[in-house]
């Protein structure tokens, strides 16, 4: 290691001393460990709209108010009935009966967190809001909209409105009755830099950068002190053995089982003592030499993503991708930028800090090259260089191996796609059964409302089955019993918002909303169906 | 607080409109023998007595779900008091409650919010209660973060089963979470796999070798461990670290930071120090809601028979999409709690008793912290009382093969666990 590097290490290690965390950090400690300050800031600047103050809606809100969502608005003109007071924890029993349900729920939800603002709009419903141009604009102004058991007519209009404008917020649609439920997120595009996917970046052992190669090959292992020998990081050992291997095997990596065995034997023979853990680790990690480091397929496929029809909020991500593509095609050795984070390995302090420094220096060099490329991309696109801040670039480079770009679909797409219906009838018949049953229930409910009947909505098993089957293409059937099991549960409890189902949906939906807003972790793609008779979830 | 409630006195017409749809009609998958209607409702609302263990992240959710579902006689045990870091998810507590008993505050909140529900709190340890106490409940739901406490209640409930008395079999529903992940399971003691059967599914806690901490630190965690394990006892020989005292954490943080600078290691922060010292597991309201709902839904199904209950394990992962896995966890015949068969252990004849003890602590399927060992004829090593510990201590240096004949039996016990483990020792 050069003297220059030594002094750098000392400088960077001299950090300021933090004082004990403040009240707010202490309150949010257990979640900050999941989504950090950046995620928390995103949550705190969000304003979500919730259509209805049902037990399910209140449960969702509870799980968003607690972690500190900025604001919420409930749009619901329902007056609390005795049945509402029985299943909703955010109503005060009989005391709430006769009062606007959204106002009661808002008041009680706000008790959970002083840092949150809540509003109840109780003088109109979503149909009325949709009917005016102002209303439509108002809806589009939210960060995200949640719709639980919104009647079919209004839901379709809302979905159409939001889908027609690429700048619209995501729409989370939840339908539930009794033990069954379904969740779908309608969005155009969703980009995730910090997906938290548990995959390690490449250490580039097969394509070592000059400083790594130089250090690994210049180590005098034979004359090394026995203690030091037992603390040489496995990365150096592998780089060294692999270089020699390539030199004697026409530049190829160990390919066959015999070759790989031979490769490990070479490592084993390098031991000075039988109990050297670093050599044991090197043998264990030898698989890292079996394949060459390339741009992972998942990331490469993002380079072909169509950026022309992207919403404004994912534009920066597409520019970053463009820069990444140029980086991987023009900069040797045609891989993703090197990651500065090194896993722990058997080593003494000096050797570990040393190899850490080698990786950090190289990573920062490559990040510099990436930044130059990005600056040029932005300039070519006529964008200001301030569009993407350094923090975002750092995060992008750090997570370059686990980036995610989700292309969303419109609510209801599956019902219009005969191919998808036929395929799912084969491969995910139970899940499709739940989706069809809930679709049929909402169609019948819509008819019931339109008929202005005064009677209680009580669809028969036959009506539900017929409406469900009508969605399926001709000749397509679900596997034995799957449709009946789902439809039968809905005939049993067509209007039941069960406390446990509501609570479970409250959790699953809040997780998804947090993922959408923080742009961390990966939201669900497709229809997430839930069966609480057999206790499973499945995605269509 | 604990006034007696006349059933139905506070029930208003329509209160159970939602739940009653399930209880008035069978579904396609309901047991054909099941009789829907008033009997089922009465039993749920008047006959069932539920115990909730833990009034924390899961407990708060479990209590509110049970109350809304119509369970009216609920007991809750928790030994903890409320901390500010609980408030991001334990929604029955407010800033003004910090420092008070979780069980008491939670019980009072539920009784205020859901009229007619009686919640009986106990601020203390589950180990304070005996079999007679646990015998009074219809079922037990556990929302704990302690492995030790779960092993205790699991073993206690398995031991309680008397084949002559069907009432002695208490279904145990257990939930647990970590970040966006969690699991819920139903344990029928002696019938399904028990908590002990699945001990090897737990994530292994990272233990750093003491020589790394003392001599060759590489990670910020090594520096923090050095501060708490080595430096604190050296400077304060008479005082233990209080994980909840910010001044203690602050001291550890500063020591760790100094050491990190000395070794040029980056990354020691206040938050990491606290996380390592307290072994903090990230926790959020939404995951607790999912797991508690799954637990209470099973409690509802078990109590009413309105649908078949989970057999027997539900795992949920929300980090990458929505993923879950429902499966039957199998019983382990050599489970020390419900299995009955001895665990075969083949060791080197050179292995000392101390090394055998280390092995038992290490093994993922055993995890006994301070084991005492004996054979049918002699005591090998006892952790307590002090006189016996001293008398048996010389054995630690001896080879096991000098103390136990081939295929000999060894019984392992620990004061924290209400069961013993039988080993059959063979030599290589
Ligand atoms: Zn067992």
CATH number at residue B245: 1.10.10.520
CA angle B327, B331, B334 (to 5 degrees): 150
Per-residue confidence at A3, pLDDT binned at 50, 70, 90?
very low
Active-site residue numbers of B?
211
Which of the residues A507, A514, A528 would you substitute to probe the B interface, choosing the one with the greatest number of B C-beta atoms within 10 Å? Answer: A507
Tell whether B94 and B237 lie within a shared domain: no
Please identify every stretch of chain B with a pLDDT value under 70, giving residue numbers as ranges: 1-9
User: Quick check: helix, strand or coil at residue A468?
Assistant: helix
Which of the residues B318, B323, B329 would you substitute to probe the A interface, choosing the one with the greatest number of A C-beta atoms within 10 Å? Answer: B318
Largest CA distance in chain B: 75
* Residue A74 structure tokens: 């409930």
Tell whether B183 and B84 lie within a shared domain: yes
A459-464: list long-range contacts, CB under 8 Å, 24+ apart: A459/A490, A459/A491, A459/A494, A460/A491, A461/A487, A461/A488, A461/A491, A464/A437, A464/A440, A464/A490, A464/A491
- CATH code (residue B422): 3.10.290.20
Tell whether B112 and B23 lie within a shared domain: yes
Tell whether B43 and B132 lie within a shared domain: yes
Whole-number mean pLDDT of chain A? Answer: 95
Q: How much is the pLDDT for B4?
A: 43
Instruction: Give yes or no for residue A494 having a pLDDT over 70.
Output: yes
Q: How much is the pLDDT for B414?
A: 87
Q: How much is the pLDDT for B366?
A: 84
| Predicted TM-score of the model (pTM) | 0.94
Could you tell me the distance, in angstroms and rounded to a whole number, from the CA of residue B160 to the centre of ligand 1? 14
State the Cα–Cα distance between residues B136 and B120, nearest whole angstrom. Answer: 13
Q: How much is the pLDDT for A417?
A: 96
Does the ipTM surpass 0.90?
yes
CA angle A186, A189, A191 (to 5 degrees): 125
Query: Order of strands across the sheet with B343-347?
Result: B343-347, B417-427, B408-414, B372-374, B379-381
Instruction: Give yes or no for residue A89 having a pLDDT over 80.
Output: yes
Domain boundary among B235, B257, B277: B277
* Residue A240 structure tokens: 């060294």
What number is the average pLDDT over the span A335-348? 95
Could you tell me the distance, in angstroms and rounded to a whole number, from the CA of residue B352 to the centre of ligand 1? 29
Closest CA to B116 of A506, A85, A101: A85
Tell me the torsion sign for CA atoms A379, A382, A385, A391: negative
Chain A residues close to B114, C-beta within 8 Å: 89, 93
Residue B12 in domain: no
Residue of B nearest to A85 (CA): B15
State the Cα–Cα distance between residues B280 and B366, nearest whole angstrom. Answer: 23
Q: How much is the pLDDT for B1?
A: 41
In contact, B5 and B118? CB cutoff 8 Å: yes
A93 closest CB neighbour out of B115, B219, B326: B115
Tell whether B166 and B81 lie within a shared domain: yes
Residue of A nearest to B13 (CA): A82
pLDDT top residue among A295 and B342: A295
Asked if B320 and A349 come within 8 Å (Cβ–Cβ), the reply is: no
Q: Is B382 exposed, middle or buried (0-12, 13-18, 19+ CB in 10 A)?
A: buried
Q: What is the DSSP string of A364-425?
A: HHHHHHHHHHHHHHHHHTT--GGGS-HHHHHHHHHTGGG-EEEE---TTGGGG-HHHHHHHH
Residue B182 in domain: yes
Closest CA to A291 of A204, A192, A420, A218: A204
Tell me the torsion sign for CA atoms B229, B232, B233, B238: negative
Instruction: Give yes or no for residue A12 having a pLDDT over 50.
Output: no
Report phi then psi at A189, rounded to 5.
Answer: -155, 145
Could you tell me the distance, in angstroms and rounded to a whole number, from the CA of residue B295 to the centre of ligand 1? 20
Report phi then psi at A335, rounded to 5.
Answer: -125, 180
User: Quick check: helix, strand or coil at residue A174?
Assistant: strand
Residue B315 in domain: yes
What is the C-alpha end-to-end distance of chain A, expressed in Å? 54
- CATH code (residue B119): 3.40.50.720
Residue B357 in domain: yes
In contact, B104 and B23? CB cutoff 8 Å: no
Per-residue confidence at A6, pLDDT binned at 50, 70, 90?
very low
Which of the residues A35, A67, A86, A516 would you substitute to probe the B interface, choosing the one with the greatest number of B C-beta atoms within 10 Å? Answer: A86
Model confidence over A20-44: pLDDT tens digits?
899 999 999 999 999 999 999 999 9
Tell whether B316 and B271 lie within a shared domain: no
CA distances to A39, A261, B263 from A236, in Å: 37, 19, 21
A67 closest CB neighbour out of B88, B216, B321: B88
Residue B4 in domain: no
* Residue A415 structure tokens: 């019902």
Tell whether B317 and B191 lie within a shared domain: yes
What is the C-alpha end-to-end distance of chain B, expressed in Å? 64
In contact, A123 and A27? CB cutoff 8 Å: no
Is the CB of A98 inside 8 Å of chain B's CB atoms?
Answer: no
Residue ranges and CATH numbers for the domains of chain A are: 29-188+499-539 (3.40.50.720), 210-289 (no CATH), 297-407 (no CATH), 421-492 (no CATH)
State the Cα–Cα distance between residues A407 and A427, nearest whole angstrom. Answer: 22
Tell whether B95 and B218 lie within a shared domain: no
User: Quick check: helix, strand or coil at residue A357?
Assistant: helix
State the Cα–Cα distance between residues A211 and A362, nearest whole angstrom. Answer: 8
Pairing between β-strand B343-347 and β-strand A71-75 as defined by DSSP bridges: unpaired
Model confidence over A96-107: pLDDT tens digits?
999 999 999 999
A524 closest CB neighbour out of B64, B322, B326: B322
State the Cα–Cα distance between residues A361 and A484, nearest whole angstrom. Answer: 63
Could you tell me the distance, in angstroms and rounded to a whole number, from the CA of residue B139 to the centre of ligand 1? 18
In contact, A414 and A435? CB cutoff 8 Å: yes
Residue B356 in domain: yes
Q: How much is the pLDDT for B201?
A: 86
User: Quick check: helix, strand or coil at residue A122?
Assistant: coil
DSSP state of A289: G
Enumerate residues 6+ apart whose C-beta is below 8 A from A428.
A538, A540
In which element (H, E) is residue A186 found? strand A180-186
Minimal Cα–Cα distance from A248 to chain B, Å?
35
CA angle B45, B46, B52 (to 5 degrees): 70
- pLDDT > 90: what percent of chain A? 94
Could you tell me the distance, in angstroms and rounded to a whole number, from the CA of residue B282 to the centre of ligand 1? 28
Residue B156 in domain: yes
In contact, A434 and A182? CB cutoff 8 Å: yes
Tell whether B321 and B419 lie within a shared domain: no
In contact, A341 and A367? CB cutoff 8 Å: no
Lowest-confidence segment of A252-266, A299-313, A475-489, B174-188 by average pLDDT: A299-313
In contact, B353 and B371? CB cutoff 8 Å: no
Tell whether B62 and B152 lie within a shared domain: yes
Q: Is A8 exposed, middle or buried (0-12, 13-18, 19+ CB in 10 A)?
A: middle
Chain A residues close to B285, C-beta within 8 Å: 62-63, 66-67, 507, 510
DSSP state of A97: T
Tell whether B248 and B360 lie within a shared domain: no
Is the CB of A86 inside 8 Å of chain B's CB atoms?
Answer: yes
User: Quick check: helix, strand or coil at residue A185?
Assistant: strand
In which element (H, E) is residue A75 found? strand A71-75
Asked if A539 and B322 come within 8 Å (Cβ–Cβ), the reply is: yes
| Number of domains observed in the structure of chain B | 3
State the Cα–Cα distance between residues A320 and B379, nearest whole angstrom. Answer: 68
Cα dihedral A54/A58/A64/A65 (nearest 10)? 140
Tell whether B109 and B234 lie within a shared domain: no
Residue B220 in domain: yes
Residue B301: give the domain boundaries.
17-202+283-327
Show the 3-state SS of chain B. Answer: CCCCCCCCCCCCCCCCHHHHHHHCCCCCCCCCCCCCCHHHHHHHHHHCEEEEECCCHHHHHHHHHHHHHCCCEEEEEECCECCHHHCCCCCCCCHHHCCCEHHHHHHHHHHHHCCCCEEEEEECCHHHCCHHHHHCCCEEEEECCCHHHHHHHHHHHHHHCECCEHHHCCCEEEEEEECCEEEEEEECCCCCCCCHHHHHHCCCCCCCCHHHHHCCCCCHHHHHHHHHHHHHHHHCCCCCCCCCCHHHHHHHHHHHHHHHHHHCCCCCCHHHHHHHHHCCCCCCHHHHHHHHHHHHHHHHHHHHCCCCCCCCEEEEECCECCEEEEECCCCCCCCCCCCCCCEEEEECCCCEHHHHHHHHHHCCCCCCCCCEEECCCCEEECCCCHHHHHHHHHHHHCEHHHHCCCCEEEEEEECCEEEEEEEEEEEC
Instruction: Give yes or no for residue A5 having a pLDDT over 60.
Output: no
State the Cα–Cα distance between residues B250 and B268, nearest whole angstrom. Answer: 12
């Amino acid at each position: 290691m050069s003297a220059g590097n030594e002094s750098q290490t000392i400088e960077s290690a001299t950090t300021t001393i933090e004082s004990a965390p403040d009240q707010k950090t202490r309150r949010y400690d257990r979640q900050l460990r999941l989504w950090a300050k950046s995620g928390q800031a995103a949550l705190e600047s969000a304003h979500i709209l919730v259509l209805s103050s049902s037990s399910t809606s209140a449960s969702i809100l509870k799980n968003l108010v607690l972690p500190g969502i900025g604001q919420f608005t409930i749009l619901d003109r329902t007056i609390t009935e005795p049945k509402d007071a029985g299943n909703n924890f955010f109503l005060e029993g009989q005391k709430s009966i006769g009062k606007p349900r959204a106002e009661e729920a808002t008041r009680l939800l706000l008790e959970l967190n002083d840092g949150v603002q809540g509003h109840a709009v109780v003088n109109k419903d979503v149909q009325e809001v949709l009917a005016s141009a102002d209303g439509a604009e108002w809806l589009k102004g939210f960060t995200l909209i949640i719709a639980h058991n919104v009647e079919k007519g209004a839901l379709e209009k809302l979905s159409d409105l939001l889908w027609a404008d690429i700048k619209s917020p995501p729409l989370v649609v939840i339908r539930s009755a009794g033990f069954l439920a379904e969740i779908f997120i309608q969005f155009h595009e969703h980009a995730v830099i910090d997906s938290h996917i548990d995959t390690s970046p490449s250490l580039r052992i097969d394509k070592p950068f000059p400083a790594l190669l130089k250090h690994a090959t210049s180590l005098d292992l034979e004359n090394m002190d026995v203690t030091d020998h037992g603390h040489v990081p496995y990365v150096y050992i592998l780089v060294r053995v692999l270089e020699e291997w390539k030199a004697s095997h026409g530049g190829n990596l160990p390919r066959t089982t015999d070759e790989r065995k031979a490769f490990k034997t070479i490592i084993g023979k390098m031991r000075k003592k039988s109990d050297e853990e670093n050599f044991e680790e090197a043998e264990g990690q030898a698989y890292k030499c079996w394949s060459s480091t390339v741009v992972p397929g998942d990331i490469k496929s993002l380079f072909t993503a169509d950026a022309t029809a992207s919403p404004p909020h994912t534009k920066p991500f597409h520019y970053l991708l463009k820069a990444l593509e140029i980086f991987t095609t023009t900069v040797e050795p045609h891989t993703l930028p090197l990651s500065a984070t090194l896993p722990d390995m058997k080593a003494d302090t000096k050797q570990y800090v040393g190899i850490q420094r080698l990786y950090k220096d190289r990573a920062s060099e490559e990040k510099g090259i990436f930044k130059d490329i990005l600056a040029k991309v932005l300039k070519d696109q006529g964008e200001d260089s301030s569009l993407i801040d350094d923090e975002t670039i750092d995060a992008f480079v750090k997570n370059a191996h686990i980036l995610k770009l989700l292309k969303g679909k419109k609510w209801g797409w599956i019902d219009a796609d005969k191919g998808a219906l036929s395929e799912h009838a084969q491969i995910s018949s139970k899940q499709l059964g739940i989706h069809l049953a809930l679709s049929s229930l909402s169609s019948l409910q819509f008819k019931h409302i339109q008929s202005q009947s005064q009677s209680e909505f009580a669809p028969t098993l036959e009506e539900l089955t017929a409406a469900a089957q009508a969605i399926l293409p001709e000749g397509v059937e679900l596997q034995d019993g799957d449709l009946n099991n789902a439809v039968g549960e809905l005939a049993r409890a067509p209007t039941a918002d069960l406390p446990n189902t509501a609570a479970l949906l409250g959790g699953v939906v809040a997780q998804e909303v947090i993922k959408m807003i923080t742009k961390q972790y990966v939201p669900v793609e497709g229809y997430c169906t839930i069966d609480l008779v057999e206790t499973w979830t499945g995605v269509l | 607080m604990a006034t007696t409630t006349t059933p139905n006195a506070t029930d208003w017409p329509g209160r159970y409109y939602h739940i009653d749809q399930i209880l008035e009609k069978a579904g396609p998958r309901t047991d054909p023998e099941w009789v829907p209607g008033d009997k089922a409702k009465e039993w749920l609302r008047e006959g069932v007595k539920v115990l909730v263990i833990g009034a924390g992240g899961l407990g708060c959710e479990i209590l509110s779900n049970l109350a809304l579902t119509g369970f009216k006689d609920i007991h809750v045990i928790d030994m903890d008091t409320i901390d500010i870091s609980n408030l991001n998810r334990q929604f029955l507590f407010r800033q003004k409650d910090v420092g008070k008993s979780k069980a008491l505050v939670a019980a009072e909140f539920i009784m205020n919010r859901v009229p007619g529900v009686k919640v009986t709190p106990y601020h203390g340890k589950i180990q304070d209660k005996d079999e007679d106490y646990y015998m009074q409940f219809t079922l037990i739901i556990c929302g704990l973060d302690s492995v030790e406490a779960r092993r205790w209640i699991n073993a206690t409930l398995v031991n309680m089963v008397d084949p002559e008395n069907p009432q002695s079999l208490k279904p145990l529903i257990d939930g647990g979470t970590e970040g966006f992940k969690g699991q819920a399971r139903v344990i029928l003691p002696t019938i399904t796999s028990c908590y002990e059967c699945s001990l090897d599914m737990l994530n292994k806690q990272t233990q750093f070798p003491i020589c790394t901490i003392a001599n060759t630190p590489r990670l910020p965690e090594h520096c923090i461990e050095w501060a708490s394990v080595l430096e604190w006892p050296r400077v304060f020989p008479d005082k233990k670290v209080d994980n909840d005292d910010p001044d203690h954490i602050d001291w550890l943080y500063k020591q760790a930071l100094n050491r990190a600078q000395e070794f040029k290691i980056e990354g020691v922060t206040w938050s990491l120090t606290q996380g390592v010292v307290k072994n903090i597991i990230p926790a959020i309201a939404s995951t607790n809601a999912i797991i508690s709902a799954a637990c209470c839904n099973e409690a509802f199904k078990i109590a009413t028979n309105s649908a078949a209950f989970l057999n027997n394990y539900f795992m949920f992962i929300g980090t990458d999409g929505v993923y879950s896995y429902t499966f039957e966890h199998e019983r382990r015949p050599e489970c020390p709690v419900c299995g009955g068969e001895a665990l075969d252990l083949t060791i080197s004849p050179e292995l000392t008793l101390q090394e055998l003890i280390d092995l038992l602590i290490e093994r993922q399927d055993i995890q006994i912290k301070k084991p005492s060992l004996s054979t049918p004829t002699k005591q090998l090593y006892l952790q307590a009382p002090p006189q016996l510990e001293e008398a048996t201590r010389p054995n630690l240096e001896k080879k096991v093969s000098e103390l136990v004949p081939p295929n000999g039996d060894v019984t392992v016990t620990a004061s924290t666990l209400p069961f013993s483990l039988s080993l059959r020792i063979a030599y290589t």
